């Protein structure tokens, strides 16, 4: 069973609602790496699956932009050190336009929109400033003793009696990461901006007394997590496995949700890390490929397919290399075929959830073929596609083909192996062939010049070489040498089948002499 269907079955059985709110969020602390798409895609797939089963569903994506900057990504200038500890929404953007948080949130929104996902977007900074957290802040402060107990009971963390679950924004230095609240009188919070309380920055030492409402403060993140669930009335929200360990942050937030806010934790699910090249990525440190980088080399549908097909319970490891990319195209094409021939199958469903537009092409050209074709300059790829399809291409087929050609060019430049790259030699290269190789050419010339079925050509060359006592490597080297001046290249039968017949015949004849 497709993982999303399995999950929503459980959710519906558990909640029995007519409508659902699926929420997910992220701190926009830097360029968003491709792994962060996991959360978005898992949540949006669940939302779509709920919707398809007749439940009205909203997918909401939140940016935790009132979080302080607590590390500096490597691509951010050193002068940003001075902003450490300040909320991300209050720090200027690297390009000087808008805020640091918006700069990276916008980049991320652009990527997720390109995947055909358009969640309702919310920002915690706005929620705090507009007073949406006011009630939750008061409750947390009034029940500070319960919050302390929860930390103690679940995580065995001691919070002193004068610790309060609130982070005030220092009126003097505007930092939020450095303050500690020590009293609450029902209206105002007394706090101190500590000089050495956090490792990443220094506070100013200011002591103040201030209302925590309307953006003057922020809840610590585990309390904030629970508060958000209660404000939004989230029904479903999963998290990465780092938050889902026993007695970890999700357990703490769930207890706060129950005991402090009196609500039930949204239906949860846990997802494994998405590794690239075996490495975990971090947006705050700037490690790993950004979502935008990957979306520039991989069509959106494939990037989406890569994640949608992976069960959240299983670790996803993706290598951004030629072999993996080619394989991904082949798998995607198979899912497309299934969608057409067996629409009820799991693979068909995965295809359906991965596609971005409503339109479905009737025909997809194999990616490896396109990579070869774009290197044969005179070839009309659309014509070849029609030949292969056996009928005229639809407008959707054409659009898809054009898109694949675009990405094949990028692939050829960035990922193709030496074997996949070639240049047809206009003049016969100066190569030395032995007698058996010359004989091979003599024998295959006629067939190759009239046959258009790649497999027949390929097998014929192979068999002829065998009869002549040539090793397969020697046999095919002969072809590569006389056409490409290389000892390796694309699969010979397919390659020759797509070259001009006269040219092929003349070249083989000439070389066999
Ligand atoms: Zn301060």
Q: Residue 21 pLDDT more than 80?
A: yes
Helix, strand or coil, per DSSP, at residue 137: helix
Do the Cβ atoms of 43 and 62 come closer than 8 Å?
Answer: no
* Nearest residue to 176 via CA among 252, 64, 93: 64
Token pair for 206: 């200011």
* Nearest residue to 245 via CA among 282, 272, 284: 272
Helix (H) or strand (E) holding 43: helix 37-52
* Buried-state track 62-76, b at ≥16 Cβ within 10 A, e below 16: bbbbbbbbbebbeeb
Helix (H) or strand (E) holding 141: helix 134-142
Token pair for 67: 């979080």
Q: Residue 50 pLDDT more than 70?
A: yes
Q: Of 67-71, 188-192, 414-418, where does mean pLDDT reach its minimum?
A: 414-418
Average pLDDT of the chain, as a whole number: 93
Q: Residue 426 pLDDT more than 70?
A: yes
Mean pLDDT over 17-46 rounds to: 93
Q: Residue 444's pLDDT is what?
A: 96
CA 459 / ligand 1 centre spacing (Å) = 77
- Say which residues have a Cβ less than 8 Å from residue 479's Cβ, sequence separation at least 6: 461, 489, 492, 495, 496
CA 68 / ligand 1 centre spacing (Å) = 13
Do the Cβ atoms of 206 and 171 come closer than 8 Å?
Answer: yes
Q: What is the pTM of this model?
A: 0.88
CA 258 / ligand 1 centre spacing (Å) = 33
Helix (H) or strand (E) holding 473: helix 472-484
Mean pLDDT over 115-144 rounds to: 98
Mean pLDDT over 444-450 rounds to: 93
Token pair for 414: 């960035």
Mean pLDDT over 246-257 rounds to: 97
Q: Of 44-58, 86-100, 363-377, where does mean pLDDT reach its minimum?
A: 363-377
pLDDT digits (tens, 9 = 90+) for 383-424: 989 988 999 999 999 999 999 999 999 999 999 988 888 889
Query: Could you write out the three-class secondary structure of 376-409?
Result: CCCCCHHHHHHHHHCCCCCHHHHHHHHHHHHHHH
CA 204 / ligand 1 centre spacing (Å) = 4
Q: Residue 312 pLDDT more than 60?
A: yes
Helix, strand or coil, per DSSP, at residue 23: strand
Q: Residue 103's pLDDT is what?
A: 96
Q: Of 143-157, 265-279, 285-299, where does mean pLDDT reach its minimum?
A: 285-299
- Say which residues have a Cβ less than 8 Å from residue 264's Cβ, sequence separation at least 6: 257, 258
Mean pLDDT over 61-80 rounds to: 94
Q: Residue 234 pLDDT more than 70?
A: yes
* Cα separation values, 149 from 136, 161, 218, 474, Å: 18, 10, 20, 76
Q: How far apart are CA 179 and CA 376, in angstroms?
A: 65
pLDDT band at 491 (very low <50, low <70, confident <90, very high): confident
Q: How far apart are CA 332 and CA 404, in angstroms?
A: 13
For the chain, percent of residues with pLDDT exceeding 90? 81
Q: How far apart are CA 507 and CA 513, in angstroms?
A: 10
Q: Residue 283's pLDDT is what?
A: 56
Q: Residue 345 pLDDT more than 70?
A: yes
Q: Residue 380 pLDDT more than 90?
A: no
CA 178 / ligand 1 centre spacing (Å) = 7
Which residue in this structure is represented by tokens 């705050």? 284
CA 226 / ligand 1 centre spacing (Å) = 27
* Cα separation values, 500 from 286, 377, 389, 496, 503, Å: 49, 11, 20, 8, 5
Q: How far apart are CA 25 and CA 133, in angstroms?
A: 16
* Cα separation values, 57 from 44, 268, 285, Å: 10, 16, 34
In the chain the domains, ranked by start, together with CATH numbers, are 1-283 (3.40.50.620), 321-419 (1.10.10), 435-512 (1.10.10.350)
pLDDT band at 295 (very low <50, low <70, confident <90, very high): confident
CA 147 / ligand 1 centre spacing (Å) = 25
Mean pLDDT over 106-127 rounds to: 95
CA 125 / ligand 1 centre spacing (Å) = 19
CA 194 / ligand 1 centre spacing (Å) = 7
Degrees, nearest 5: CA angle 107-111-116: 145
pLDDT band at 337 (very low <50, low <70, confident <90, very high): very high
Q: Residue 18 pLDDT more than 70?
A: yes
Which residue in this structure is represented by tokens 């935008």? 292
Q: Residue 255's pLDDT is what?
A: 98
CA 31 / ligand 1 centre spacing (Å) = 28
Q: Residue 286 pLDDT more than 90?
A: no
Instruction: Give the chain's radius of gyration (CA, Å).
Output: 30
CA 190 / ligand 1 centre spacing (Å) = 13
Q: How far apart are CA 164 and CA 240, in angstroms?
A: 27
Q: Residue 193 pLDDT more than 80?
A: yes
Question: Where do runs of H (alpha helix) occur along 156-248?
Answer: 221-232
CA 63 / ligand 1 centre spacing (Å) = 25
Which residue in this structure is represented by tokens 């925590």? 212
Mean pLDDT over 189-195 rounds to: 95
Q: Residue 278's pLDDT is what?
A: 77
Q: Residue 284 pLDDT more than 60?
A: no
Do the Cβ atoms of 22 and 48 come closer than 8 Å?
Answer: no
Do the Cβ atoms of 349 and 308 come closer than 8 Å?
Answer: no
Q: Residue 320's pLDDT is what?
A: 85
Which comes out higher in pLDDT, residue 181 or 489?
A: 181
CA 481 / ligand 1 centre spacing (Å) = 72
């Amino acid at each position: 069973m497709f993982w999303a269907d399995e999950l929503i079955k459980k959710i519906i059985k558990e909640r029995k609602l007519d409508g659902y709110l699926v929420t997910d969020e992220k701190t926009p602390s830097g360029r968003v790496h491709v792994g962060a798409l996991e959360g978005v895609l898992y949540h949006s797939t669940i939302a779509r699956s709920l919707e398809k089963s007749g439940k009205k569903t909203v997918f909401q994506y939140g940016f935790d932009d009132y979080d302080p900057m607590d590390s500096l990504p490597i691509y951010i200038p050193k002068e940003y050190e001075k902003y450490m500890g300040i909320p991300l929404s209050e720090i200027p953007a690297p390009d000087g336009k808008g805020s640091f948080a918006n700069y990276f949130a916008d980049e991320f929104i652009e990527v997720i929109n390109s995947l055909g996902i358009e969640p309702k977007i919310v920002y915690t900074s706005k929620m705090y400033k507009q007073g949406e957290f006011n009630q939750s802040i008061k409750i947390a402060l009034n029940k500070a003793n319960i919050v302390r107990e929860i930390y103690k009971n679940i995580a065995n963390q001691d919070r002193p009696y004068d610790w309060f679950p609130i982070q005030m924004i220092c009126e003097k230095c505007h930092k939020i990461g450095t303050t500690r609240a020590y009293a609450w009188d029902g209206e105002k919070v007394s706090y101190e901006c500590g000089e050495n309380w956090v490792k990443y920055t220094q506070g100013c030492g200011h002591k103040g007394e201030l209302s925590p409402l309307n953006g003057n403060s922020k809840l610590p993140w585990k309390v904030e997590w629970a508060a958000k669930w209660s404000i939004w009335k989230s029904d479903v929200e999963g998290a990465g496995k780092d938050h889902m360990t026993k007695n970890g942050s999700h357990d703490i937030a769930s207890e706060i949700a129950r005991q402090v806010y009196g609500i039930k934790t949204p239906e949860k699910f846990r997802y494994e890390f998405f590794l690239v090249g075996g490495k975990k990525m971090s947006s705050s440190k700037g490690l790993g490929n950004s979502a935008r980088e990957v979306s520039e080399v991989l069509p959106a549908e494939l990037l989406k397919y890569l994640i949608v097909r992976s069960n959240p319970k299983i670790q996803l490891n993706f290598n951004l290399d030629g072999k993996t990319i080619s394989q991904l195209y082949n798998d995607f094409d198979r899912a497309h075929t299934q969608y057409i021939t067996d629409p009820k199958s799991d693979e068909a469903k995965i295809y359906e959830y991965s596609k971005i537009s409503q339109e479905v092409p009737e025909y997809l050209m194999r990616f490896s073929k396109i990579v070869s074709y774009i290197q044969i300059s005179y070839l009309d790829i659309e014509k070849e596609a029609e030949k292969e399809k056996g009928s005229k291409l639809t407008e959707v087929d054409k659009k898809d083909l054009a898109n694949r050609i675009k990405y094949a060019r990028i692939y050829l430049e960035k990922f193709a192996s030496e074997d996949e790259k070639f240049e047809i030699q206009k003049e016969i290269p100066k190569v030395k062939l032995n007698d058996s190789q010359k004989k091979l050419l003599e024998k295959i010339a006629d067939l190759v010049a009239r046959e258009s079925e790649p497999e027949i050509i390929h097998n014929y060359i192979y068999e002829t070489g065998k009869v002549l006592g040539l090793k397969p490597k020697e046999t095919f080297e002969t072809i590569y040498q006389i056409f490409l001046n290389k000892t390796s290249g694309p699969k010979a039968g397919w390659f020759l089948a797509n070259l001009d017949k006269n040219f092929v015949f003349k070249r083989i004849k000439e070389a066999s002499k």
